[in-house]
Structure 1
Amino acid sequence: MPSKTLDGIPLDWVRAFEAAGRLGSFTAAARETRLTQAAISQRIANLEGRLGARLFVRGARGVTLTVEAEAWLPHASEALTLLHQSAQDIFSSRTQQLTICASATMTRGWLMPRLPRLEGRARLHLSFVTLMIEAEQAPDRGNVVVRYGVGDWPDLRAARLFAEELAPVAAPHILTGDWTALPRIAVTGPRAGWSDWDGTTATQLRTDSMGAALAAAEAGAGVVLGSLPLCRDALDAGRLARTDARSLTPSSSYWLTARAQDVSQRRWDALIAAFCER
């Protein structure tokens, strides 16, 4: 391909190609860009002429990308996203609305205490939404979603909030003898539990969140295999105490996740600097 093939090429031609390729339809691309189908078709034809290559195979049932176009599409999408987001970051005087969807435990115990770190880093108007079910079942509820796992979600940016570490903790006033005889508090969900600690499966109290389990432990209801990063303040203040020097370090933890097109790189970096422990 000649070195100046793309010189002076109208951005609208690339935008028409990207929309049609991503959506798999000239009609859908026309709706998204608020153009006519004929205009989309003409711009793609112009782009094909400039590139000297076919981008779509036209058929009776619609259009499909050629092999070369399929390889180029992700680069075109990334470039258009970068142009849009960088223009917002640099030239927009408006504050960007950004929603963070997380469990009540994560919002209260981790995100809110670190919120002041965001001041001056990015023009953001934040909205926090409490996640009531597993994040995998609600991928579209916010621009940024806090998920629990190993960080391998396809097509999502992911930044680990902290390295998870679990250890038995309880209120100091109930630690008067053998802590293993205390009632055990369990947390429902995908995280490691008592069976991973010592094979025990019997528990006297079960909650659906780490926050509720830690609150029960502080109240003296028993001992919980608690997330040390999430109960650090309670440990430092003496409201909880570790009962064992050992700990579990599972590979899973909590992650900030977002689609690249939802959050610009500059604002994503600001969120990482504010909320992620290095």
Structure 2
Amino acid sequence: MESRIPSLNWLRVFEAAARTESFARAAQQLNMSAAAVSQQVRALEDRLGAPLFSRHAQAVRLTEAGRAYLPPVQQALMTLEEATEGLFGAVGGQGLYLQSVLIFAHGILTKGLAEFEAQHPGISVMLSTGNSASDFQQGFSDLKIIFGNPHEYGRESDRIMGEWLIPVAPPDVARQIAHAGDLLDWPLIEVGTHRSGWRQVLETARARPGAGRMVHADNTLMAMAMSRAGRGIALARTPASDLEMQGAGLVPCLPGFEVQGSQAYYLVYDSLSGLRPPARRFRDWLLDWVRAQGWA
């Protein structure tokens, strides 16, 4: 009877495609062609007798079966890597599985990951992003970078950094705002998932919070895109949103005015003593690097 255990290479390809939600990005990471990735995923699906992805024009999405299969595949690959290293020594790169909220990955990690990888050439960072708690419940990760209450995501954590709120808009709008009360002449784009928002900013500025016209976005990157499109004034959350603010061509409405947010970013894990060596090295590097930037 033929074994249903799939090829190890198929599993590696599946894990990369599932993590990146893209055959093209998986192909780049694995030094393959996108066509080869698609072919191997199809071979795995044929072997298992179930679709693992739904295909779309610009991306792929895991099916229910794919989501259920991903965590044990990642755990099995990690276990095999650790066993190989333990018995035979390091024989290649070590994988580090990292999950991060999107704005931190976009605005902070993109600035520092190259430095980390240059200092630790044997570690390959497998990064996936999300925004909601459910995003962080899918798949295996050594470390999670979250915003808000760390106890919802793991037993132990380190505070990475906080945030400062700054009203921002396109330059032609920002020039029309000379005083805090002028903010109320424009729609204010609110991100409802954050504890700190326009009410805190307007109260600090001694404006009338109830007088603002609110429009809503589900994350800060979308709020800035809306502001760039003329939908209103957004709140930058520096330093994590600095890169997006610059890319959107937004500027502070009240230069020098900023409000400290009430929440922070945390690095979360189950046990410090139980971290795998690449995860421990990344933790130490990240905390030191953020302090060196003056953000901690």
Return the TM-score normalized by structure 1.
0.58
User: What corresponds to 2:265 in structure 1?
Assistant: 254
Unaligned stretches of 5+ residues in structure 2: 1-81, 177-181, 204-208
- The CA distance in 1 between the partners of 2:199 and 2:91, in whole Å, is 53
Q: For residue 266 of structure 1, what is the aligned residue in structure 2?
A: 281
Q: Which of 76, 96, 109 is the matching residue for 1:98? A: 96
Rounded Cα–Cα distance in structure 1 between residues aligned with 2:175 and 2:118: 48
SS at match of 2:172: helix
Q: Which amino acid aligns with 1:228?
A: T
Which residue identity lines up with residue 124 of structure 1 in the other structure? Answer: I
> How far apart, in 2, do the equivalents of 1:119 and 1:107 lie?
15
For residues 166-201 of structure 1, the C-alpha deviation after alignment (integer angstroms, 9 at most, x for no partner) is 121111122342333111100021330111122525
SS class of match (2:119): coil
**Partner in structure 2 of residue 169 of structure 1:** 168
What is the deviation of 1:223? 0.7
Does the aligned pair in 2 maintain the 1:135–1:146 contact within 8 Å?
no
Cα pair 2:186 2:213 within 8 Å, conserved: no
How large is the Cα RMSD of the aligned pairs?
3.3
Looking at structure 1, the residues matched to 240 and 246 of structure 2 have their Cα atoms a distance apart, in angstroms, of 12
Matched with 1:212 is: 222
Identity %: 19
Relative to structure 1, the CA distance from residue 211 to residue 257 in structure 2 (aligned partners, 3 Å threshold; closer, same or farther) is same
Correspondence for 1:184: 188
Give the SS at the match of 1:94: coil
Structure 1: state its 5+ residue gaps.
1-83
Query: Which structure shows the bigger proportion of residues in helix conformation?
Result: 2
Q: Cα distance 1:138–1:93, how it changes in 2: closer, same or farther (>3 A)?
A: same
Secondary structure of 1:120's counterpart equals helix
Q: Which amino acid aligns with 1:218?
A: R
Q: Distance in 2 between matches of 1:176 and 1:144?
A: 43
- Distance, in Å, in 2 between the alignment partners of 1:197 and 1:223 is 12
- CA 154–134 in structure 1, closer or farther in 2 if over 3 Å, else same: closer
Max Rg structure: 1
Shift of 1:248: 1.6
- 2:285 maps to a residue whose letter is A
Q: How many residues align?
A: 193
Question: Is it true that 1:198 corresponds to 2:202 in the alignment?
Answer: yes
Output the amino acid matched with 2:107.
Answer: G
Change (3 A) 1:221 1:141: farther
The one-letter amino acid paired with 1:262 is: L
Tell me, in whole angstroms, the C-alpha distance in 2 between the residues paired with 1:266 and 1:133: 27
